[in-house]
Chains A and B, each alone.
Chain A
Amino acid sequence: MSEAIMIKDAVCSFCGCLCDDINVEVEDGKIQRVRHACRLGSSKIMGHARIESPMIRKNGVLVAVSFQEAYDKAAKILLAAAKPLLYGWASTSCEAAKKGILLAEEVGGVLDSTATVCHGPSVIGIEEKGLPGATLGQVKNRADTIVFWGCNPAEAHPRHSLRYSSNSCGKFTQEGREGRKIIVVDVRETRTSKNADKFIRISPGSDYEVISALRMLVAGKGDSVLDEVGGVLKADLADIAATLKAAKFGAVFFGLGITHSRGRYKNIDNALSLVAELNSHSKFVIMPMRGHYNVGGIGQVLAWSSGYPMSVDFTRGGPYFNPGETSACDLLARRDVDAALIIAADAVSNFPRATAKALAGIPVIQIDPYENPTTLLSDVVIPCAIAGVEVEGTAYRMDGLALRLRKMVDSSFPSDEDILMGILESVHKQRQMTANEGA
């Protein structure tokens, strides 16, 4: 038995909070205990049953093969495709994303991230209005007013409130929760709303109207607001508007309740406008609650590599971006892609039924440590080491802050980067062979 090693201040690679105070006890090359992480993070770091071997579907059954065979088959699929989709990227490192972008350029594919079924509408809202934001520490040190809109951090980002938002303490917020006003807007009661000073329950799909009413009230045009908007009394909205205007420093956190309800990116556009306008009265910032730990990172890497943060089409040589046309679900719904590589995401569980069905009709390559519903329809399955636990790398927190993921234990599996490079090398090799045959 070897001595237990304590890894201190490691970064948790579960959600967009990227808590970086995790202590991990390792003995005999295995993680024995995880400290400071929430249950979600702890379960991620401890891990569970893995895909054991690369597999290729033969006669309808996944059969174990060598990694090289799997790379060659994956390369063959990508080369044969006129327009392959390379999708996922939210739960792996930026280093893997860089290799994925290179691969998408080489094979002429479309690269999209899980943002497309998540905060993609937020990105489009930001393209319309910009993002008045801050790092999470700025909120912790200064915010006396916090709004959670269509999100439920108490269950999705369990340590958010204590580390960064409602219950955190900082230089100008030493009273923590006591010194803050917390407003929650949602269509239902949640654990987050129970921690609120004011819970505004709106009718489903009325986010746009409610934000518009608040903008009018903030602008002093309350006369034109109806007595009830989205199921909320005008007097309550007027109260909220007054609280927002009186803040010393306010922050709005928003989630999928607003990005994927009626109005979608227009809701975000409206919320960004509200926050921009509030800055005439007080200091205000806004931030999307990013879900997967590095869904922010793929957006950053893709933006500096291609100019666009998601849904980038490399099939015409130069990058092309037109969400609605080049986004994963739309491509699949139109049956416009003829192969897919799914990495670090479970498309089948999260896509609309029609698009998941479209995936079943084309060759699919999956790169993932774990079996999930996407595995069931994959033709090539390549198991990988887990970024942030078994592989070092970079991830971007929900506020855009880059942190270095640690390697805690060794793995016998190749990293996502290694696998993508293996496929890329096979692409080069097969191209060369075809060229030689042609000559």
Chain B
Amino acid sequence: MIIKGGIVYDPANGIYGDEMDLFIDQGRMAMQAKGEEIDARGLLVMPGGVDAHSHIAGKKVNTGRIMRPDDARLGTEPRTAVCRPSTGYTVPNCYAMGYRYARMGYTTAFEAATPILEARHTHEELEEIPIIDKGALTLFGNNWQVMECVRDKDLTKLAAYVAWGLRAARGYGVKIVNPGGGEAWGFGGNVKSQNDIVPNFDVTPAEIIVGLAKANEMLNLPHSIHLHFNNLGKPGNYTTAIETLDLLKDIKPSRMRQVVHVAHMQFSAYGGTSWRDFESKASVIADYFNCHNHATMDMGQLLFGSATTMTADAPLEYGNARLTHNKWSNHDIELEESSGVVPMTYFRKMLVNAVQWAIGLELALLVKDPWKVLMTTDHPNGSPFVNYPEVITLLMSKPKRDAEMATLHEQVPKRTTLAGIERELDWTDIAIMTRAAPARVLGLDDKGHLGPGADGDVSIYNLRPLEVDTSLDHVLVKKALANAKYTIKGGVVVSKEGQILATPPGRTFWVDAAVPQVDTDRLMIDLEEKFAKYYSIQIANYAVQDAYLPHAKVIRAGLLIEPLPEVA
């Protein structure tokens, strides 16, 4: 395939809006190729979009569907000759997930939180999502085995468990959600800071986070730890964020990447002592990111309207349910996690929601280096992913932000700095925040760029970047981003101007990390006891079988691999 004459943004390869031809051969980017020619003259061309944090598959997503038939009705699209039927808005069915990402030019999305015990379910759904490549992060932050290894300061056994857990879950990376809080929730409690003792386990959240970060780097995993802070969603939680980030600043990364990725930073950048004096501390958080290089974040942008909050932070969801008197699902997972789901509507005239909206934007605009900020809505917590074009245009257009601000609660300019921010992102920034940076943060070498050998995932938009004024013509930009002119996945045109043309199955990435057998042997003594006494299933039935990943892409890592050269 040849893509002719596009205006290409490929920041990972130093290409910032150059007119050039692209070639795809056998599904990969190449120096030259033959075959189908696509006329992209003058049009915006970027690598396929990569979403590093989205809740797209597994028990809590399906729980959202089951408790929200009201939501399913919002997105009904009939079956076609190519497509299965679609339903849903905040919690779309599996088919809609694949089609809607593809229509926007996205070709990769990672599920952000899966307990090991329930990973089989996650993979059943991931396999059912057409077109896009995917993976699932694995939850470790409230796991008994993890907490015991941390308490015993047995780092090699902890690393062996992380490797074993990733293999059992066919997981991609280490996710930590409200560490210790999920265990405390087992008896209805929570932890109030990273230095609280987790009941019955004699460790602190801080120790869990640092332990897992060290194990992560010891295993040379492609992704860093992926952290949802303690106290998320509470006024005044920005201090928890900064104190927790400080714990990790001296850990050396084993690869050319961050040591910690902060999930949906917006929900942890709050000042004030209650909802009454709630305010943005995005500028303090942004300063921290501007002065430190060990952390990246995704926005977790909130947009007004319907959302479904879902997280492994079960006490948070209980709080949401009590606050809103909305329906509440909770799901504790034996020995490993807890979780919850609560539908939510965000209002322009509600001060807290309006400030939250501003915080996400402040973060993305105040952090100077776009490689540190990924564009997400923490789908479907802040807003469903179909609204990414709205977020992108807000970041690119000060007039659009001002127009929106005029419709919000009048206190927003006092409680946030957004009104005074002049910065407008350009296509290079956007290509980084939606393509190059998420791929680099996840450690996906063949994603997020268009160099030879990269996956042949390309999105072409009906926009002329050399002509369009993204600040003033934001309506046009949003429309173009919602339906790519072409989305090409692995060298196949999967979507054209909003119409799905092909639905190849996507691959599922998972990480197999090698550890010394002696550490695994020590670990298995612990695990066999846990299965004999505490788990409700046998160890033989625990790990996800290969039958659930017919399109697996295994990334090797671990202690036996030579670490890459140290980062300067």
Contact = CB atoms under 8 A, between A and B. Distances in A.
B118 A138 contact: no
Interface stretch (B86-94, B352-360, B365-373, B484-492): B86-94
Given A135-B333, A318-B85, A304 B62 contact: yes
Contacts of A336: none
A303 interface: yes
Given A319-B85, A394-B124, A130 B328 contact: yes
B120 A318 contact: no
A76 interface: no
Given A129-B328, A130-B327, A137-B335, A318 B535 contact: no
Contact of B186 (A133, A138, A276, A316): A138
A134 B332 contact: yes
A414 interface: no
B275 interface: no
Interface centre among A138, A304, A392 (most CB of B within 10 A): A304
A316 B93 contact: no
Contact of B328 (A123, A132, A403): A132
Given A304-B94, A403-B541, A321 B72 contact: yes
A171 B88 CA distance: 40
B66 interface: yes
Nearest to B327: A130
A249 B200 CA distance: 15
Nearest to B331: A133
B330 interface: yes
A307 B64 CA distance: 10
Contact of B330 (A20, A98, A134, A171): A134
Chain A, interface size category, equals: 35 or more
Nearest to B77: A318
Contacts of A394: 120, 124
A148 to B, nearest CB: 18
Contacts of B335: 137, 141
A403 B540 CA distance: 11
A128 B187 CA distance: 25
Interface in A98-145: 98, 105, 123, 126-138, 140-142
B455 interface: no
A127 B85 contact: no
A374 interface: no
B252 interface: no
Contacts of B330: 130-134, 285
Nearest to B318: A279
A279 B318 CA distance: 9
Contact of B541 (A9, A105, A130, A300): A9
Contact of B120 (A163, A164, A248, A404): A404
B95 A305 contact: yes
A304 B125 contact: yes
Given A137-B536, A306-B93, A404-B541, A319 B87 contact: yes
Contacts of A402: 118, 120-121, 124
B69 A307 contact: yes
Contacts of A282: 188
B65 interface: yes
A9 B540 contact: yes
A21 interface: yes
Interface in A241-273: 248-249
Contacts, number: 192
A98 B548 CA distance: 14
A74 interface: no
Interface in A289-316: 299-301, 303-309, 314, 316
B121 to A, nearest CB: 4
Contacts of A280: 322
Contacts of B186: 138, 141-142, 249, 283
B362 to A, nearest CB: 33
A211 interface: no
Interface centre among B318, B332, B535 (most CB of A within 10 A): B332
A314 B93 CA distance: 15
A129 B329 CA distance: 8
Contacts of B85: 105, 306, 314, 317-319
A142 B187 contact: yes
Contacts of A329: none
B342 interface: yes
B490 to A, nearest CB: 24
A400 interface: yes
Nearest to B96: A307
Interface in B93-142: 93-95, 117-118, 120-121, 124-125, 128
B69 A127 contact: yes
A170 interface: yes
A33 interface: no
Contact of A305 (B94, B331, B332, B536): B94
Given A127-B66, A141-B534, A403 B120 contact: yes
B319 to A, nearest CB: 11
Interface string A162-175: 01100001111000
B188 A283 contact: yes
Nearest to B129: A304
B67 A316 contact: no
A85 to B, nearest CB: 18
Contacts of B327: 127-130
B567 interface: no
Interface centre among B61, B66, B69, B128 (most CB of A within 10 A): B66
A73 to B, nearest CB: 25
Nearest to B76: A318
Contact of A130 (B69, B187, B200, B329): B329
A317 B94 contact: no
A309 B91 CA distance: 13
Contacts of A137: 334-335, 534-537
A4 B59 CA distance: 39
Interface in B289-314: none
Nearest to A105: B79
A64 to B, nearest CB: 34
B538 A9 contact: yes
A144 to B, nearest CB: 10
A135 B117 contact: yes
A8 interface: yes
B14 interface: no
A417 to B, nearest CB: 13
Interface centre among B327, B328, B536 (most CB of A within 10 A): B536
A130 B76 contact: no
A67 B318 CA distance: 53
B84 interface: yes
Interface string A388-401: 00001010100011
B387 interface: no
Nearest to B120: A402
Contacts of A9: 538, 540-541
Contacts of B117: 135, 401
B547 interface: yes
Given A137-B536, A283-B188, A404-B541, A305 B128 contact: yes
A11 interface: yes
A171 B91 CA distance: 36
Given A321-B72, A394-B124, 7 more contacts: A130-B341, A132-B328, A137-B535, A248-B187, A319-B87, A392-B547, A403-B541
23 contacts: A21-B538, A126-B66, A126-B67, A127-B68, A130-B67, A130-B341, A135-B117, A137-B536, A140-B334, A140-B536, A141-B186, A276-B321, A283-B188, A299-B66, A301-B124, A304-B62, A307-B71, A318-B85, A320-B76, A396-B121, A400-B63, A402-B124, A404-B547
The 4 closest A-B pairs by CB, nearest first: A137-B334, A317-B78, A307-B87, A307-B72
